[in-house]
Chain A
């Protein structure tokens, strides 16, 4: 009650959407300042002729999401390499709990996705990319669901006033939420870019540079149709990675915003109707959030799978043109 009232006094209902968006969006400030990164950013940007005020200024500063990217990649690499290396070292050993989950995904993706869409022989050269996409996105999604950084937010809100920590404090910036890297369009667009170049590379590798671009449109059509088909196919080429980008980021964003909004019901009720109302709405709010978290867990796996699947499908389409 005390907590709810304390939060309630700082809270007004119209803050909720902005609070949720702040939670998901990247921080505007860097959480760690490195002089050489600022220097590098300036150099690279001026090389491309981008002014610091521009929207496209290449700021290499360590923002919240960049920090989380490092965190996610560290977890992905360390856990997978340890698990797999340990598993391989003891050949007779039965895989442990985590390894059997990893193995299940690996074998499923290999047999049902890679071999199916890319081919029994060609799949080996593209398997690492598809696996890395799957596990990187999966870990990003799931780590975003663990509210470890939200606890710093709680400290900021309840223990001290967040403002007391100072706006430049790491805890303050982290408390502004948004801990899912895969909800950031820039991150998902980067992975989609790799998929984009991967399926172009797969086609060129198989058919050569010129033939690959010719494969874009089916041969044997009447000439006028080519004026329609070629632009459509060419647009499709760029729409594929864009769809990948927005699908993953949108799913993650939506889930987290909904989650935060459900939680803010408590604050809003407390602020508008008093502590008792906040206390009364809390069970509904929490159970909604709990249910949504379960759903998000499912979505985390599904979206990682879809991203990996579509990467495999696009590579397969480039290799098997007749499909």
Chain B
């Protein structure tokens, strides 16, 4: 009998016993825990992938939204700027016009006031001149001039003044 093919029932029985023991031990302490672990891990991975996917779509949505908001804000800002520019220009023009009007008013006022003052001043000067000339005349004629001479002189002087006034 070829020693390589001899039936050795003892070895056969030992193989069965040992293999079944190994199977039992490995099943309990290796394969079942490992398969459970792998399944759990794969579930985890699948879930995280799903989560990542949803997060990605969320992000995209958020991005879109933020872009929309940004665009709106830009538009609004532009309109606000345009508006305020317009308003500012308006108010500036208004202020300018007002100022111009006011200054014109002032000018007119000042002109009329100056005119009035001028007239008053001239009048005062005239009165002063009359008084002065009277004084002067009195002083000159103090010694021997009679009253009628005096009054004559006054009259002529006054006339002269009137003529002067008319001229001016």
Contact = CB atoms under 8 A, between A and B. Distances in A.
Interface of A: 21-22, 24-26, 41, 55-61, 63, 65-66, 69-70, 73, 76-77, 80-81, 84-85, 87-88, 91, 103, 106-107, 110, 124, 127-129, 131-132, 135-136, 181, 183-187, 189-191, 193-194, 253
B17 to A, nearest CB: 9
A60 B31 contact: no
Interface of A is mostly: helix
A69 B15 contact: yes
Interface stretch (B34-42, B45-53, B114-122, B130-138): B34-42
A41 B10 contact: yes
22 contacts: A22-B3, A41-B10, A55-B7, A57-B10, A58-B13, A59-B9, A63-B8, A65-B11, A66-B10, A84-B30, A84-B33, A88-B33, A132-B19, A132-B31, A184-B11, A185-B5, A185-B7, A186-B8, A189-B12, A190-B16, A190-B19, A193-B16
Interface of B: 1, 3-16, 18-23, 25-27, 29-35, 37-38
Contacts of B19: 73, 132, 136, 190-191, 194
Q: 3 closest pairs, A vs B, by CB?
A: A190-B15, A128-B27, A25-B3
Nearest to A249: B4
A56 B7 CA distance: 7
Contact of A88 (B1, B20, B34): B34
Nearest to B21: A73
Nearest to B10: A59
Contacts of A56: 7, 9
Contacts of A191: 15, 19
A116 to B, nearest CB: 16
B47 to A, nearest CB: 15
B4 A185 contact: yes
Question: Interface centre among A61, A88, A103, A193, by most B CB within 10 Å?
Answer: A88
Contacts of A41: 10
B37 to A, nearest CB: 5
A193 to B, nearest CB: 7
Contacts of B35: 106, 110, 124, 127
B12 A190 contact: yes
A127 B11 contact: no
Nearest to A59: B10
A5 to B, nearest CB: 30
Contacts of B38: 103, 106-107, 110
B22 A76 contact: yes
Contact of A60 (B3, B7, B14, B20): B14
A60 B17 CA distance: 11
A128 to B, nearest CB: 4
Nearest to A57: B9
A106 B32 CA distance: 12
Contacts of B12: 186-187, 189-190
B165 to A, nearest CB: 118
A143 B22 CA distance: 17
A181 B12 CA distance: 11
Contacts of B3: 21-22, 25-26
